[in-house]
């Protein structure tokens, strides 16, 4: 037994160790670098797609994926941990799995890169360093540091900074907000809420470089990009484009977001019309009309008051800068919650000596005035915010509910003192 083990060990160290060393000392000529761009998925955090770096090893016959989009959170509730800013994002490497993406019917496009040896070495060294335990975690930012910008930056490294130099000075075709809405405008409720929560920082002009916070924008811009390699020769950055899977069930992402303000204006006018009908109903059936009139206002107070609380929390407590400078706080804010008890008092005729409808009219007058002021502010250079969807829903309804003909004739005592 001892002699056999000794002979095996001798053969291993004499013949196999040099072979193992030659495998580890891999020539980058055996590596093919690719960018994978995946289409949207059903989960909200993948609505905007995904991107990754793929390194194919032609000598050993396997692929390695460097991914900037892996995240973990301490509790079982992603939303709670996201609000508390406790979600950890990291760069990882692993094997290439495409089946799960095709099973989800997501678009998969592979861009094979044309890189010289020095660029390959730079990219691989950088990626290997990023996946080390001491370097892999990073502070995620939806627009400045995400799975797509990680891939964009590594492409910039591989081209010696030429990618950024070429695209950072070219104006983008859309601001951040409209790029986000390209992926959400087909989903009316989430689109309205996200548009409501995003501040005017996202309405400022951006560059094509900035637009590559979206995976598809990377593919769109690199496929025809040319650069000078380390020898001074001009190259196409992308050697070939391969569509691995084209979605058959998902709605294609439009080049621009849908125009939705007419829909929201229609909703606002219809809500106003409903209140006009209820006011007429009160003339025939006073008690029934009063109940509907009060309870519907309470419901609106609860909905918009809740949204106002989320916005207030985001503006003054959460660390997310893309919610900042949001002018919607002037007319949709926590004050909306005061409508809830006033509507209930109106509906059920509670506190006979207290007339809640007077205060409701005053409150809706404030909402209408504040909303109208935000329209005027939007014409001031540097203060524009795309908030027409919120204005279109609120203003028609507020105008009817403030009842201008009654507002000052039966104003609350403190307004006429």
Tokens in use for 2?
């001892």
Is the pTM higher than 0.75? The answer reads yes
Q: Is the pLDDT of residue 19 over 70?
A: no
Radius of gyration of the chain (CA): 29
Report the C-alpha gap between 324 and 315 in whole angstroms. 5
Please give the mean pLDDT across all residues of the chain: 88
Report the C-alpha gap between 36 and 114 in whole angstroms. 15
φ and ψ at 403, to 5 degrees?
Answer: 45, 75
Tokens in use for 89?
């994002």
Q: What's the confidence (pLDDT) of residue 59?
A: 80
Instruction: Please return the burial class of 73, using the count of CB atoms within 10 Å of its CB with bins 0-12, 13-18 and 19+.
Output: middle
Q: Is the pLDDT of residue 414 over 70?
A: no
Give per-residue pLDDT as tens, 349-386: 887 788 899 999 999 999 999 999 999 999 999 899 99
Query: 347-384: string of b/e by CB count within 10 Å (b at 16+)?
Result: beeeeeeeebbbbbbbbbbebbebbeebeeebeeeeee
Least confident of 83-87, 189-193, 241-245, 389-393: 83-87
Label residue 84 by pLDDT band (50, 70, 90).
Answer: low
Label residue 1 by pLDDT band (50, 70, 90).
Answer: very low
Which one, of 336, 310, 305, lies nearest residue 323 by Cα? 310
User: How many CA atoms within 13 Å lie on the side-chain side of 272?
Assistant: 20
Tokens in use for 349?
């005729």
Label residue 94 by pLDDT band (50, 70, 90).
Answer: confident
Give per-residue pLDDT as tens, 108-150: 999 999 999 999 999 999 999 999 999 999 988 999 999 999 9
Q: What's the confidence (pLDDT) of residue 12?
A: 36
The mean pLDDT of 295-312, rounded to a whole number, is 97
Report the C-alpha gap between 299 and 153 in whole angstroms. 48
Give per-residue pLDDT as tens, 155-170: 999 999 999 999 999 9
Strand, helix or coil for residue 169: coil
Which one, of 360, 358, 365, 355, lies nearest residue 404 by Cα? 365
Strand, helix or coil for residue 371: helix
Q: Are 40 and 48 in contact (CB under 8 A)?
A: yes
Label residue 13 by pLDDT band (50, 70, 90).
Answer: very low
Report the C-alpha gap between 92 and 106 in whole angstroms. 21
Q: What's the confidence (pLDDT) of residue 14?
A: 36
Q: In what order do the strands lie in the sheet with 31-38?
A: 137-138, 88-95, 62-72, 50-57, 31-38, 108-113, 238-245
Report the C-alpha gap between 6 and 43 in whole angstroms. 57
- The percent of residues in the chain predicted with pLDDT above 70, rounded, is 87
Tokens in use for 197?
């929560």
Interacting residues of 6 by C-beta distance below 8 A, sequence separation 6+: none
Q: Please list the alpha-helical segments (H only) found in 140-242.
A: 147-158, 162-167, 176-182, 188-197, 208-211, 215-222
Q: What's the confidence (pLDDT) of residue 312?
A: 96
Q: What's the confidence (pLDDT) of residue 291?
A: 96
């Amino acid at each position: 037994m001892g002699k056999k083990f000794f002979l095996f060990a001798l053969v291993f160290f004499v013949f196999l160790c040099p072979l193992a060393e030659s495998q580890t000392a891999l020539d980058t000529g055996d590596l093919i670098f690719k960018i994978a761009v995946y289409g949207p998925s059903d989960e909200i955090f993948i609505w905007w797609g995904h991107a990754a770096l793929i390194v194919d090893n032609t000598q050993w016959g396997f692929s390695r994926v460097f991914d900037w989009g892996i995240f973990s959170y301490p509790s079982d509730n992603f939303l709670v941990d996201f609000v508390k800013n406790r979600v950890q994002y990291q760069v990882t490497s692993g094997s290439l799995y495409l089946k799960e993406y095709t099973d989800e019917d997501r678009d998969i496009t592979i861009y094979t890169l044309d890189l010289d040896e020095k660029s390959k070495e730079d990219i691989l060294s950088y990626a290997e360093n990023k996946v080390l335990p001491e370097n892999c975690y990073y502070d995620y930012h939806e627009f400045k540091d995400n799975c797509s910008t990680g891939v964009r930056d590594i492409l910039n490294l591989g081209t010696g900074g030429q990618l950024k130099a070429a695209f950072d000075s070219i104006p983008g075709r859309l601001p951040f907000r409209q790029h986000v809405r390209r992926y959400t405008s087909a989903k009316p409720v989430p689109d309205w809420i996200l548009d409501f929560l995003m501040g005017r920082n996202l309405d400022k002009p951006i560059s094509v470089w900035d637009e590559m916070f979206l995976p598809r924008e990377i593919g769109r811009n690199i496929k025809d990009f040319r650069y000078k390699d380390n020898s001074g020769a001009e190259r196409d950055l992308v050697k070939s484009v391969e569509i691995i899977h084209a979605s058959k069930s998902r709605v294609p992402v439009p080049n621009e977001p849908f125009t939705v303000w007419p829909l929201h204006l229609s909703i606002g006018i219809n809500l106003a019309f409903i209140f006009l009908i209820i006011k007429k109903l009160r003339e025939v059936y006073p008690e029934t009309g009063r109940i509907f009139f009060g309870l519907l206002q309470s419901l609106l107070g609860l909905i918009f008051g809740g949204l106002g609380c989320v916005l207030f929390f985001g503006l003054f407590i959460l660390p997310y800068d893309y919610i900042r400078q949001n002018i919607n706080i002037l007319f949709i804010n926590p004050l909306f919650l005061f409508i809830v008890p006033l509507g209930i008092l109106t509906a059920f005729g509670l506190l006979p000596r207290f007339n809640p409808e007077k205060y409701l009219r005053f409150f809706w007058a404030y909402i209408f005035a504040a909303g109208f002021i935000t329209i005027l502010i939007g014409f001031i250079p540097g203060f524009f915010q795309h908030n027409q969807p919120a204005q279109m829903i609120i203003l028609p309804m507020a105008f009817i509910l403030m009842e201008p003909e009654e507002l000052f004739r039966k104003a609350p005592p403190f307004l006429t003192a």
